[in-house]
Amino acid sequence: MERKLKDYNPEYCPVIYSLNKIGDRWKLLVIHYIRKGNLRFGALQNVIPNVSRQTLTNKLRELEADGIINRTVYAEVPPRVEYNLTELGVSLLPIINEMSKWGLKYMRP
């Protein structure tokens, strides 16, 4: 699957690289909710109600392709699929925590 990258910097700035991986609002929300444990697609849809099925599917595929989440398929009827963070995904949590702190500090009440 090919996707459009926001490659604004011909020098491949590390900030732009990071934003290409997680800078999308849906990806950050997926990571935020999966951090609490394994989640299924339906559970993610419930906690992120404004995302369409197609968008969520695409974002999960991108995060999996980038090695940020794992997709585990269980051989059951009906099939069960769960998502969880990889070691790389867990390494993003301190950044997301700091973003959360910053947001709480500057959000308007």
What is the structure's pLDDT at 59?
Answer: 95
Domain count for the chain: 1
- On whether residue 51 sits in a domain, the answer given is yes
User: The domain containing residue 72 runs over which residues?
Assistant: 14-106
> Is residue 1 in some structural domain?
no
Q: Within a domain: residue 28?
A: yes
pLDDT at 6 over 70: no
Residues 62, 2: Cα–Cα separation, whole Å: 10
- Is 60 exceeded by the pLDDT of residue 1? no
pLDDT of residue 4: 62
CB 26 within 8 A of CB 69: no
4 lies in some domain: no
pLDDT single digits (tens) 70-109: 999 998 888 899 999 999 999 999 999 998 899 999 987 7
**Higher confidence at residue 15 or residue 62?**
62
User: What is the per-residue pLDDT for 11?
Assistant: 65
CATH code: domain of residue 52: 1.10.10.10
